[in-house]
């Protein structure tokens, strides 16, 4: 429920919460590059120690429109059923649109297409994945941003694991750091 609340908060902020204004905003110019690292650790989880990491390299292809390549890795150690470890890997191409705003908070929305693989219990499978992304970036200085992101992803096969059950959809919240150069 918390993840769903965050997702709707970010979507509503992107759609309704920002007035277009030139002060204190970031305007990504064509050719600007970005480098980002995202994480979602849960070292006290009921299902074991979980870690999700995402690294991304992007480039602005049009003003405020970013295209980025990301690599995702997730693991859960010592999970209960059979105590087998869980491994998830994915490579995505993401398209993002950054809204103009009048504060240091810059909302964005986007989509992703990619390929994911899962190793969990007896499942060793991969599939194409697609999804929607929304987020908020907080401008720390001219080139550095704190990034809060929510991703909803779907697949034709069960390549995501939630509460010990393989599923074809996933909702993930992450926090990250982005550098613009």
Q: Which pair of tokens denotes residue 127? A: 């599939």
> How many domains would you assign to the chain?
1
The HSE-up count of residue 111 (CA atoms within 13 Å, CB side) is 2
Conformation bin of residue 82: beta by default, left when phi > 0, alpha when psi is -120 to 50: left
Q: Give the per-residue pLDDT at 7.
A: 54
Q: What is the pLDDT of residues 3-40, one digit of tens each?
A: 544 555 555 555 444 443 443 344 578 888 999 999 98
Residues 106 and 23: beta-carbon distance below 8 Å:
no
What is the CATH number for 168?
A: 2.40.160.20
Domain that holds residue 51: 2-180
How many residues can be counted in the chain? 181
State how far the Cα of 138 lies from the Cα of 105, in Å rounded to an integer. 5
Residues 49 and 83: beta-carbon distance below 8 Å:
no
At residue 83 the predicted structure's pLDDT band, cuts being 50, 70 and 90, is low
Q: What is the pLDDT of residues 43-61, one digit of tens each?
A: 665 556 778 899 999 999 9
Q: Give the per-residue pLDDT at 135.
A: 95
Q: What is the pLDDT of residues 122-155, one digit of tens each?
A: 778 888 999 999 999 998 888 899 999 999 999 9
Global model pTM greater than 0.85: no
State how far Cα 146 lies from the chain centre: 13
State how far the Cα of 146 lies from the Cα of 18, in Å rounded to an integer. 18
Q: Among 78-82, 110-114, 116-120, whose mean pLDDT is lowest?
A: 78-82
């Amino acid at each position: 429920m918390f993840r769903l609340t965050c997702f709707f908060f970010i979507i509503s902020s992107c759609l309704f919460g920002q007035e277009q204004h030139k002060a204190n905003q970031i305007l990504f110019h064509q050719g600007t590059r970005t480098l980002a690292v995202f994480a979602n650790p849960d070292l006290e989880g009921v299902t074991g120690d979980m870690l999700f990491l995402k690294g991304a390299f992007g480039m602005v292809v049009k003003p405020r429109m970013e295209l980025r390549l990301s690599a995702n890795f997730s693991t859960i150690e010592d999970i209960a059923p059979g105590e087998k470890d869980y491994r998830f890997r994915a490579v995505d191409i993401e398209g993002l649109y950054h809204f103009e705003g009048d504060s240091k908070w810059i909302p964005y929305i986007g989509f992703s297409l990619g390929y994911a693989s899962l190793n969990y219990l007896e499942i060793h499978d991969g599939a194409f994945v697609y999804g929607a992304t929304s987020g908020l970036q907080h401008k720390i200085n001219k080139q550095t941003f704190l990034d809060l992101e929510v991703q909803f992803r779907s697949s034709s096969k069960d390549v995501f694991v939630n509460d010990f059950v393989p599923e074809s959809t996933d909702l993930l919240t992450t926090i990250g750091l982005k550098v613009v150069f």
